[in-house]
Structure 1
């Protein structure tokens, strides 16, 4: 009997403690999104494109789909960009006009600005490709909860690859992160996430 009472008391304490932890840390259901992950801080930034400086604030009034990757990525980035392309194809032309896709290369050592823009252009003509210094990229990815790191591959023609997270961030018209969508979701799921903020 006493073991049951002790078990019940322990369950109550853990339950209350868990609830306090989530509320005191600010992690409430309202702060999460469809992925179940807490939303990152995000925020404005300025990076360089083939046509000059691009600030996230330039796209106020549009829903922005933001992605961190690199052009030599063998599978994850092409899958992510193909998902975005297919999602845009599910929107009307009037809706697409209110959406901006933004690809941030985390490989400035290898990705020239012109090459990044050619790469994203293969997927959709409205996409913009940007990059910056390592210091800039590290600061921005930290705020967005993104991850990347260079991995040397001795003996490979590529010399190195980059491990990175694979999230499509959906930002509302004020530039605030509202949803995080995994790169390999059905395109209809990403299209629905975009439509929720148009």
Structure 2
């Protein structure tokens, strides 16, 4: 990505982040967040099927066979890391051809079920792209699924926060091919072009 295009992407992330912060109107959202949890803290990813809750009801990964699915673990109160990654993912979706986009879904899995119910998640992901779906589940479900996808997260109590705690979390994106197989893990803030190419590779087409 050249400097001009990178500046545009960063500016877009800032604008969307600002809109989200205003929408939720929570003082804790304006607090700085630590760097993403290092990838080496996570288990080696194996992937696999799972079922979690959306605002429209349960969603099972295996029901999305035939589509490329991106999976990102985060939470709606995340002040910068999650919005940045979701903006890049949304820009990658917009760069797809219509036929590709129709067969691509993004699952934003919240690791903060105490605050992120399905309705809150639906409002959050709507800021980014209609192909992004917000999901969550019980703490036990989330820990098991995150472990299989190599995602690490931890609650950090913070008495200075209006909400009382933050969540440090890994910030990569898992790429699942149309057969349901985990085929790639993209790093934090991967450029939209990299994400777009990973989607096309998962489809078995040239980037």
Cα deviation, residue 186, structure 1: 1.4
Deviation of 1:193 (Å): 0.5
Match of 1:23 in 2: none
Shift in Å, 1:183: 2.5
* 2:50 aligned with 1:45: yes
Match of 1:7 in 2: none
How many residue pairs match? The answer is 163
Choose the corresponding residue for 1:169, options 164, 171, 174.
174
Equivalent residues of 1:39, 1:177 under 8 A apart: no
Unaligned runs of 5+ in 2: 1-38
Structure 1 match to 2:140? 135
Q: Distance in 1 between matches of 2:174 and 2:70?
A: 5
CA offset digits 1:40-59 (Å, max 9, x no partner): 21100011111111100110
Q: SS at 1:116's partner residue?
A: helix
How far apart are the structure 2 equivalents of 1:166 and 1:131? 17
Q: Distance in 1 between matches of 2:84 and 2:160?
A: 26
Residue 54 of structure 1 aligns to a residue in which SS?
strand
Deviation, 1:39, is 6.3
User: 1:197 Cα deviation (Å)?
Assistant: 1.4
User: Which sections of structure 1, spanning at least 5 residues, go unmatched?
Assistant: 1-34
> Which residues in structure 2 correspond to 1:45-84 (within 5 Å)?
45-84=50-89
**Pick from 150, 157, 172: which aligns with 1:145?**
150
Q: CA deviation at 1:101?
A: 0.6
Q: TM-score, normalised by structure 1?
A: 0.79
The residue number in structure 1 matching 2:33 is none
Secondary structure at the aligned position of 2:126 is classed as helix
Pairs within 5 Å for 1:87-126: 87-126=92-131
The list of structure 1 runs, each at least 4 consecutive aligned residues, that deviate by more than 4 angstroms after superposition, is: none
Once the two structures are superposed, what CA deviation does each residue of 1:45-82 show, in whole Å capped at 9, x if it has no partner?
01111111110011000000000000000111001100
TM-score under structure 2 length normalisation: 0.76
In structure 2, distance between residues paired with 1:126 and 1:177: 19
